[in-house]
Structure 1
Amino acid sequence: MNKLLIVSPDFPYPPNHGGRKDVWTKILIFKELGFDVDLICTSSEDIPEKDLDFVKTIVNNIEVVKRSYSLLGFLSNKPFQLTSRKALTRVALKYKYTHVILEGDYVLPFLENEEIKKCGNVVYRMHNDEEIYFRELMKSEKTFLKKVYYFLESKKFRKVFESTIKNLENVWFISKDEMKRFNKKVNKSVGEFIPPHVSSNTFIKKKDFKDNRVLFVGSLFMVNNQEAILWYLKNIHKNLVDVQGYHLTIAGNSRGNSLGWLTEVIKENGYQNTVTVEDSPEDLEDLYSSHSIFINPMLHGAGVKLKTVEGIQKGLVVVSTSIGVQGTGLLDNKHVYISDSPDGFKTKLKLLLDNEKEKEKMSMNAQHYLKREFDLSEKFATILK
Structure 2
Amino acid sequence: MKKILVLNLFPTVFPPTSGGTLRYYHVYHELSRYYDTTLLSQTQRQRGEMITYSPNFREYRVNRDPLHKEIKQKLFNGKSIYEHELIVNMMLSQHPTSYKKQFDLLYMTSDLIIHESPYLLGYDRYLGLDNKPRIYNSHNHEYVLANQIWKDGTSRIYLQTVYYLEKKLIECADLVFATSEIERASFSVMYDAAPNKVKLAPNGIHPKDIIINKKTSHANPRALFIGANYPPNIEAVECIIHHLADKCPTIQFMIAGSCCKPFKNIKKSNVHLLGKVTHKQKIKLFTDADLAINPMFKGAGVNLKTLEFLSSGIPLFSTSFGIRGLNLIDKKHYVNAEKKDFAKKLNKYSQDRKRLKAISSAGQKYINAHYTWPKIAKSMKTEIEHILK
TM-score range, shorter chain: 0.7 to 0.9
Q: Distance in 1 between matches of 2:166 and 2:153?
A: 20
> 1:204 aligned to 208, 211, 218, which one?
211
Secondary structure of the residue aligned to 1:236 is helix
Q: Distance in 1 between matches of 2:126 and 2:17?
A: 30
Judged with a 3 Å threshold, the aligned counterparts in structure 2 of structure 1 residues 264 and 40 are, in CA distance, closer, same or farther, namely closer
1:26 aligned partner: 27
| Amino acid paired to 2:231 | V
The alignment status of 1:170 with 2:175, answered yes or no, reads yes
Q: Which stretch shifts more, 317-326 or 162-171? A: 162-171
The alignment status of 1:6 with 2:2, answered yes or no, reads no
Q: Once the 2 structures are TM-superposed, how far is the Cα of residue 81 of structure 1 from its aligned partner?
A: 3.8
Judged with a 3 Å threshold, the aligned counterparts in structure 2 of structure 1 residues 89 and 114 are, in CA distance, closer, same or farther, namely farther
1:234 aligned partner: 242
| Amino acid paired to 2:29 | L
> 1:349 aligned to 328, 338, 346, which one?
346
Q: Once the 2 structures are TM-superposed, how far is the Cα of residue 16 of structure 1 from its aligned partner?
A: 3.2
The alignment status of 1:248 with 2:253, answered yes or no, reads yes
Q: Once the 2 structures are TM-superposed, how far is the Cα of residue 194 of structure 1 from its aligned partner?
A: 0.4
Q: Distance in 1 between matches of 2:164 and 2:339?
A: 34
RMSD: 3.1
> 2:140 aligned to 128, 131, 141, which one?
128
Q: Once the 2 structures are TM-superposed, how far is the Cα of residue 311 of structure 1 from its aligned partner?
A: 1.8
Judged with a 3 Å threshold, the aligned counterparts in structure 2 of structure 1 residues 164 and 311 are, in CA distance, closer, same or farther, namely same
| Amino acid paired to 1:372 | A
Once the two structures are superposed, the pairs formed by residues 154-303 of structure 1 within 5 Å of their partners are 154-185=159-190, 186=192, 188-189=194-195, 190-202=197-209, 204=211, 207=214, 210-211=217-218, 212-219=221-228, 221-241=229-249, 243=250, 246-253=251-258, 259=261, 261-265=262-266, 267=267, 271-272=268-269, 274-282=270-278, 283-303=281-301
1:104, 1:126 within 8 Å by CA — same for their partners in 2?
Answer: yes
TM-score, L = length of structure 2? 0.81
Q: Distance in 1 between matches of 2:47 and 2:294?
A: 30
Judged with a 3 Å threshold, the aligned counterparts in structure 2 of structure 1 residues 168 and 217 are, in CA distance, closer, same or farther, namely same
The alignment status of 1:83 with 2:74, answered yes or no, reads no
Secondary structure of the residue aligned to 2:133 is strand
Write out per-residue CA displacement over residues 173-229 of structure 1, whole angstroms, 9 at most, x where no aligned residue. Answer: 12331111112231641311101232354453654573321001011x323322211
Write out per-residue CA displacement over residues 233-260 of structure 1, whole angstroms, 9 at most, x where no aligned residue. Answer: 222221211x3xx211111026xxx94x
Q: Distance in 2 between matches of 1:101 and 1:383?
A: 13
| Amino acid paired to 1:197 | G
Q: Once the 2 structures are TM-superposed, how far is the Cα of residue 302 of structure 1 from its aligned partner?
A: 2.0
Q: Distance in 1 between matches of 2:35 and 2:111?
A: 10
Judged with a 3 Å threshold, the aligned counterparts in structure 2 of structure 1 residues 46 and 362 are, in CA distance, closer, same or farther, namely farther
2:112 aligned partner: 99
1:42 aligned partner: 42
Q: Once the 2 structures are TM-superposed, how far is the Cα of residue 357 of structure 1 from its aligned partner?
A: 2.1
2:384 aligned partner: 384
Q: Distance in 1 between matches of 2:350 and 2:216?
A: 9
Judged with a 3 Å threshold, the aligned counterparts in structure 2 of structure 1 residues 53 and 172 are, in CA distance, closer, same or farther, namely closer
| Amino acid paired to 1:276 | H
Q: Once the 2 structures are TM-superposed, how far is the Cα of residue 330 of structure 1 from its aligned partner?
A: 2.8
Q: Which stretch shifts more, 351-360 or 121-130? A: 351-360
1:317, 1:363 within 8 Å by CA — same for their partners in 2?
Answer: yes
TM-score, L = length of structure 1? 0.81
1:3, 1:36 within 8 Å by CA — same for their partners in 2?
Answer: yes
Q: Distance in 2 between matches of 1:30 and 1:363?
A: 30
Q: Distance in 2 between matches of 1:217 and 1:116?
A: 43
Secondary structure of the residue aligned to 1:287 is helix
Judged with a 3 Å threshold, the aligned counterparts in structure 2 of structure 1 residues 61 and 323 are, in CA distance, closer, same or farther, namely closer
Query: Identical aligned pairs, as a percentage?
Result: 20
2:82 aligned partner: none
| Amino acid paired to 1:112 | R
- Consecutive unaligned residues of structure 2, counting only runs of 5 or more, are 77-85
Q: Distance in 2 between matches of 1:160 and 1:115?
A: 14
Task: Give 4+ residue runs of structure 1 displaced > 6 Å after superposition.
Answer: none
Q: Distance in 2 between matches of 1:165 and 1:322?
A: 28
Q: Once the 2 structures are TM-superposed, how far is the Cα of residue 22 of structure 1 from its aligned partner?
A: 0.7
Judged with a 3 Å threshold, the aligned counterparts in structure 2 of structure 1 residues 57 and 347 are, in CA distance, closer, same or farther, namely farther
